[in-house]
Amino acid sequence: DSGVTQTPKHLITATGQRVTLRCSPRSGDLSVYWYQQSLDQGLQFLIQYYNGEERAKGNILERFSAQQFPDLHSELNLSSLELGDSALYFCASSVEQLNTEAFFGQGTRLTVV
């Protein structure tokens, strides 16, 4: 168990809908990363937050947004969902902003039908 908690574990929703994925980082970790893992694209970095502030952006679509709250948990919001958004979404956390050792949660499997 990495100590990173993601909810829900599975989510099935229809195209056009909006969902929110939640991540609780390990105790003491200030940095949160979001990744998308699909069969054809592999693991893609989406966005990083450090202590409530956005620090880096990767291949995150405009339909997606994230935030990190004062208690350090983070949410990833996905809207106007398309079939191609079906994927595993992982959250990872690390102590520092610049830290190679990020611990991953077990992921949320999103299925868009």
Partner 1 sequence: QKEVEQDPGPLSVPEGAIVSLNCTYSNSAFQYFMWYRQYSRKGPELLMYTYSSGNKEDGRFTAQVDKSSKYISLFIRDSQPSDSATYLCAMTYNFNKFYFGSGTKLNVKP
- Where along the sequence are the contacts to partner 1 (CB under 8 A)? 2, 4, 33, 35, 41-45, 48, 55-56, 58, 90, 92, 97-107
The least CB distance from residue 92 to partner 1, in Å, is 7
Distance CA 77, CA 85 (A): 12
Q: CB of 2: closest distance to partner 1 in angstroms? A: 7
Which candidate, 82, 87, 88, 74, places its Cα nearest to that of 4?
74
Please give the Cα distance from 91 to 107 (Å, whole number).
Answer: 7
CB of 95 to partner 1, least distance (A): 12
Judged by beta carbon, residue 10 or residue 28, the one nearer partner 1 is: 10
34 neighbors 52 (Cβ within 8 angstroms): no
